Amino acid sequence: MFTRTLITFAILALSATAQGPPAGAPAPAFRRPPAFPERPPADPVVVERGKALYGVHCAFCHGVDARGGSGGINLIRAAMVLNDKNGELIGQAVREGRSGMPKFDLNDAQVSDMAAFIHSFKVGGYDVSRMTPTTIVTGDAKLGAAYFEKTCSGCHSVSGAQKGSLQGIAARIADPKMLQQTWLMPGTGGRGGAASRVTPTTVTVTQGGKVYDGRLGRIDDFFVSLIEADGTQRSFTRDGDNPKVELHDPLAGHRKLLPAYSDDDIHNLTAYLVTVK
């Protein structure tokens, strides 16, 4: 803060006294100094090796592009990384662990390879030269909208309060990865799953002329259990069609669709849904 104020004063003082360039002279090339020292490019082979190690051990928490993933922090702007040269500081964190980060048993060469990979990102912004997507949102939202219309609009809309409306879904599930997991299979996706509202599967069991209805407990070929609306638990042994068992799985439509999506469909649809705020 203090140094920045000083610098601001210095710049103000300079611009107050500096004379403009004489008319007709080419404007001086002005290059903003980088906020952090730029590093010479590392050997691509080393970076590739580091990327592979990083992908296995670190990407899960720090994101594929080191800008922070689920639960981890943005490494590119961490002081420890900015001050690191060849892994000597990064290695310290890796070997000691941190709160929320386990220790890793990696040798010096592995750590310096990983450091080369982490340092290969530009500090200031998105590094286009690497063509690494910042998030998983790489699809085409327009194509996603068309796919939604064709495949999902029979059961869903993106506005309104009626049943099946996905209005606000991207605000409720802000992490695109969770959002993708949620639309692929509602009710799954770890922590994101909790944010997804899914009506539980119910079951109707007919035995000796009596009908039992409730939330499905457990089911296999020989057993079925259910919980009735008042909390009563009932279980039945199954022998073929006796008793008669009818499952009502609200997500049957989703299960059927799952094998039908192509990778492009998935990327496009996620790109579209992140806009449904």
Q: Contact positions toward ligand HEC, by CB under 6 A?
A: 57-58, 60-62, 71-73, 75, 78, 80-81, 90, 93-94, 98-101, 104, 114, 148, 151-152, 154-156, 166, 169, 182-183, 186, 196-199, 250-251, 253-254, 257, 269
Whether the Cβ atoms of residue 176 and residue 270 lie closer than 8 Å to each other: yes
252, two tokens = 């049957």
Closer to ligand HEC by Cβ: residue 68 or 217: 68
- What span, in angstroms and rounded, lies between the C-alpha atoms of 141 and 274? 9
Q: Smaller CB distance to ligand HEC: residue 93 or 271?
A: 93
| Between 183 and 236, CB nearer to ligand HEC | 183
CB of 231 to ligand HEC, least distance (A): 21
Q: Are 57 and 69 in contact (CB under 8 A)?
A: no
Least Cβ distance, residue 195 to ligand HEC (angstroms)? 7
Query: Other C-beta atoms within 10 Å of 48: how many?
Result: 13
The minimum distance between CB 210 and ligand HEC, in angstroms, equals 27
d(CA 141, CA 138): 9
Alpha-carbon distances, residue 13 vs 1, 9, 17, 78 (angstroms): 18, 6, 6, 33
> Minimum distance from CB of 157 to ligand HEC (Å)?
11
CA distance 120 to 204: 59
Question: From its phi and psi, is residue 113 left (phi > 0), alpha (psi between -120 and 50) or beta?
Answer: alpha
Nearer residue to ligand HEC within complex by CB, 238 or 254 = 254
**Which of 116, 224 has the CB closer to ligand HEC?**
116
Q: Which is nearer to ligand HEC, 226 or 274 (CB)?
A: 274
Smallest gap from residue 186 Cβ to ligand HEC (A): 4
Shortest distance, CB of residue 199 to ligand HEC, whole angstroms?
3
- Please give the residue whose beta carbon sits closest to ligand HEC in the complex: 253
Residue (of 83, 84, 63) closest to 74 by Cα position: 63
